[in-house]
Amino acid sequence: LPAEADLAAPSPTGPTPSAAQLQQAAAGAEAAAAVEAEEGGAGAEAAAILSPAPSGREPATPSFSSPDHDADPDGTAAAAARMALDDVAPVPGTDRYFVPLRLACESKLPRIMEVSLHCIQKIIAYGYVRGKVAGEKPFVDVVMETICSCKDEEDKEVQLQIVQAVNTAVTSAVTAVHDTTLLLAVKTCFYIYLVSKNGTIQKTANATLTQMLDVVFARLESPGASSMAQKDAFLVFRSLCKLSMKPLPEPLPADDSIELRSKLLSLQLLYSIIASSGERFRGGEKFVWAIRQYLCLSLLKNGVSPIPAILQLSLDIFVTLIKYFKAHLKSEIGVFFSNILLRILESSNSSGPQKRLTIQALRVLVAEPQLMVDLFLNYDCDLEGKGIFTSMCDGLSRLTLTLQALSETTEQDAQLKQLALETLVAIADSMVAWERDVKAEGAGAAVTPVGQRPPSIADSSSVSMVGPEPSPVHRGGGEAAGEAGQSPGGGEAGGEVTAVVASRESVDFEAMFHRKHEVHEGVIKFNMKPKRGIRYLREVCGLEDTPQAVARFLRETDGLDKRAVGDYLGEGEDFCKQVLYAYVDSIDFANLTFDQALRRFLTHFWLPGEAQKIDRMMEKFAERYCSQNEGVFANADTAYVLAYSLIMLNTDAHSSQIKKKMTQQEFVNMNRGINDSGDLPTPFLESLYQAITTNEIKIKEMMEHERRAAAASSDAARTSRSKLFNLESAIMVKESQELFKAKARKRAVYHSSRNVEHARPMFEACWCALLASWSTIMEERYDDAVPVELVALVMRGFANAVHIAAEFGMATERDAFVTMLAKYTYLDSGKTMGGRNIEAFKTILSLALTDGDHLGGAWAQVLKCLSEFQRLHMIGTGAKTDASIFFPAARAGANGAAGLPPPGAPGLVSPPSGRLTARQQSILIQPARVRNSSKDAEVEAVNSATMVDSVDVVAIDRIFSGSAQLNADAIVEFVTHLCAVSREELDAAGDPQVYSLQKIVEVAYYNMSRVRLVWARIWEVLSEFFAEVGQHPNLSIAMYAVDSLRQLATKFLEREELLNYQFQREFLKPFQDLMGAAKSVEVRDLILVCLGHMVQSRARSIRSGWSSLFGVLSLAAADPLSSVAKAGFDLARDTVREHFALIGDHHAEGVSCIAGYLRQRPHVDIALSAAHCLADYAKLLHAAAAADGATGAAAGGAAGG
């Protein structure tokens, strides 16, 4: 190196080239003129790929004359700092030594080129390549051109040196490589990667490209980034996008082909750029514009690729775009979702790998809870957009349910279905995670468009929407939409976030979702009966009752049947005529030829078959065309007649049923004299004839239908699925491009919400799909070979779904999931239980423990399952069943007083009216299945053993003991349904149980410490239940119920009652009801014994309970049996004698009770005893009154003194 090298920085890694090496390189210059490069086939292919492809009009490139707003404001400091090296004069002598190196590179001798390139790389590394050379060309550009000119050399060492030199130049901190020179460097590494057959060189070139791009985009994100840094990043990004859009040849190339590797590498680099991008790239208008113009188009073309590697990278890029650019690409994301991803899932021609990769991409998206919620809010609640979230759930659900082949093999089908199930469970997981996170944050805040500050108190209370007026049906709830401005370079930029003055109130997305559903229902009704549909839209959806509003609805609403539109517009009613006029007046025919105008008119609906309707339509069309194109015809009559003639010609020329076609001369002759008695120019008529006969007039819906039918049909040779999908994908891409253009003229606000209430409409939109898909795993057509992990996954989905539905009070959805879970336990089905059924039962137990506060009516199914489990558990453990204890006659097959009622007799005594009470009517439990003795016994023996080994009984006990933790409404629901299950158990003709009756007593004990108002609600249910069960025809059950009631009453009387309260009276009222209704002597005797026990043990605690006690004894006085009356009188007498002072304010009831025994004419001895007792009672009352008087007098005297 020259002496000036001493000024350079210390050498980087690697040896410094010596003077001998430089001389050796210079000596080879003489051979350069005699050696010519020969480009091989691979080099030519790579060059063709890297060369710009001819295309249509290129969108204008954004200007980079000034830096971004967050860079240096005027750009002078940043530009000066960045371009300082270019202004420095070259190091003296550097160009003198570079000339032989350049000549050596041109020699085409691999050894000499290798040494020369190594020397050039060192010169760049030491910072000698700077300034400008003769002709004012930057020195670095000359050096880079020299390096890149060697790319055609196939020697691997030369290729390696090229890659190293290019990497050193681009990543150097002192060498400025910009603009086209930077693109040349990237193109050279790309070229070497494609043409090299050495794996090491390919990996090196790939890594070098990644490193160079990292440096380029890191400079973009650095503070004070210059406009040149922005331009470099933009040019590289655009070039990669264009490379990724290069079409692949047919048939598809091999895996090692240059075309395929080029596309894959460009997509990999694009993914790296998007995934590692910073704030300047994500927020810069120029780069958002480039993504919209180039990358989105690339994703459209590559997102339908049959090659899995290309599709995988495209989907990875799309997922990354959603994460980082969703606020800028709302319209594009919606189009790609609905027209590409979901269409791949639905298509019968897409391959198994395509479906699998698509589902995997959806799986990644739904794993982000906030992202999933945002997708729902921005698309499913958009009144003018397609519901992405709902369609995704429906599509995945259909995949799991279909019996048709989804792919090439059965194994692939099973994998696809499992992956779809996992994705649906992930949706439920994300919904639960989001709901819990938001609740933990104390959320509920208003929705704020991305990029805006939340509205303050000073903000306006109205919402200012920018853009055209929304559709009449959607008015009042649509998104902000408006005409997009020009991009920085003059191109159209759609989908920008608009400036919206948000109100303090949050957007009512739930109302928008329901409104969208109502509009969809209106569209369905319109397609069936147009007039009825319009009436529904007016009454329910708020469609304005004006011709203009209806006409706009017919033009702009998706999903309308074009035949129905034509029929409605052709109606003869005045309002329909006005709609027709408004409809035609909304179409612009200015500066169109007559056949073009007629095509535009007829592309929106089918012409009706009635001549009168066609007449009205053509008459208005002719008037509109002539008003916008004056001078074409003498009057509107001419246009009217000619329009009719063209319609006839269109039918004649393109109908297969018409054999003799109209000739051109016949058409001209037919239209003579129609222009106000004059003739239209013959060339004009001939041109119309040619236009119609060569290009049929079709409505848009017909054209789309025919294209799809052509893609889906197959001839006798049976076109392969791949070719059919190629046809279908071409349609998908074309439609998507048209939608891009249509939506580019509108702006949209992207909403992101943390309002927990938005989970309700989300679940409402998808619960049917979730339930249908998860139920497939539990169906009988699947055997127990289903993986345990998959069953556990589905059970987690069920649990999440029940949680969401229960949290938001969605009773129908909650009960549906719980009912299906209960069905899949097989507890009462007579079917052998397997692992799936055990998991279903465990899931029910878990739900009862975790979501009991919100289960509501679903407690009926839960408690029914617990009852069935207890029955099987007793069989499995060999314990005595309830029937053997309480129903011995039933086990012996006999009916009697102590057994079951005779067949047909009710199990429980109905209320006096003979009807069910309102509470009982509100509880519906599926009747127990009638069991067959032999087969069912075998199945139950197997099931009982399975349950005993698999289920933890402690968890079931925790459900009942944990009832004390339920909220007030939940415990009432719990007790209500527990009583209902107990009624069913006791009424079972084959195998009655008292399990739930026992649990009722336990639950009452656990909850007796609740506040009195809550306990009163609980006891209202229990008292009614005990009054019924106490009258059970089976004496053992009735007495068991009375004794249970006694235990509860004794426990309750431990709680002190304050004055003027009536809780005790209400609590003891069931004894009074039973005493009056019970027909069994034993039951009446037991009631009196129970009351006697309570008086003896809890007399000092009784307050208002004396009222119910004397009421029971009064009923006993009227009992026809002397034993009952005698027991009642003895209890009444002992109560008065022993607890007179405790009776308090209830002496009148006590006197009335004793007096009742005086009227016992059949039992004279009891009546006489009652008389003596009543006399003694009177003495006690007189003495008590005298004592009270003396006490009052003494107190008065003391006060007077």
**Which residues are catalytic, by number?**
610
> Alpha helices of 1139-1201 — where are they, by DSSP H?
1140-1143, 1147-1158, 1164-1200
Query: In whole angstroms, what is the distance from residue 854 CA to residue 862 CA?
Result: 13
Q: Are 464 and 500 in contact (CB under 8 A)?
A: yes
Rounded to 5°, the CA angle 75-80-84 comes to: 155
Query: In whole angstroms, what is the distance from residue 993 CA to residue 887 CA?
Result: 9
Q: Please name the residue that has the structure tokens 């057959």.
A: 197
Q: Are 132 and 86 in contact (CB under 8 A)?
A: yes
> Alpha helices of 1100-1146 — where are they, by DSSP H?
1105-1117, 1122-1138, 1140-1143
At 996 the three-state DSSP class reads: helix
Residue 464 β-bridge partners: 501
Token pair belonging to 108: 């085409």
Q: What are the angstrom distances between the C-alpha of 21 and each of 1, 638, 775?
A: 10, 90, 77
At 469 the three-state DSSP class reads: coil
Query: In whole angstroms, what is the distance from residue 823 CA to residue 861 CA?
Result: 9
Q: Which among 372, 374, 354 is positioned nearest to 363, based on CA atoms?
A: 372
Q: What are the angstrom distances between the C-alpha of 709 and each of 351, 702, 704?
A: 19, 10, 8
* Phi, psi of 743, rounded to the nearest 5 degrees: -85, -15
* Amino acid code (one letter) for 477: G
Query: In whole angstroms, what is the distance from residue 1160 CA to residue 1127 CA?
Result: 14
Q: Is 583 left (phi over 0), alpha (psi -120 to 50) or beta?
A: alpha
Q: Which among 414, 379, 406, 407 is positioned nearest to 393, based on CA atoms?
A: 379
Radius of gyration of the chain from Cα atoms? 44
Counting Cα atoms < 13 Å in the Cβ hemisphere of 62 gives 29
Please, which contacts does 647-653 make with residues 24 or more away whose CB atoms are closer than 8 Å?
647/598, 647/607, 647/614, 647/618, 647/697, 649/689, 649/692, 649/693, 650/692, 650/696, 650/697, 653/692, 653/693, 653/696
> Alpha helices of 441-573 — where are they, by DSSP H?
509-528, 530-539, 547-556, 562-569
* Amino acid code (one letter) for 414: A
At 1119 the three-state DSSP class reads: coil
Rounded to 5°, the CA angle 252-256-257 comes to: 55
Query: In whole angstroms, what is the distance from residue 354 CA to residue 163 CA?
Result: 36
> Counting Cβ atoms within 10 Å, is residue 723 exposed (0-12), middle (13-18) or buried (19+)?
middle
The DSSP letter of residue 671 is T
Q: What is the DSSP string of 423-462?
A: HHHHHHHHHHHHHHHHHHTT--PPPEETTSPPP-TTS-SS
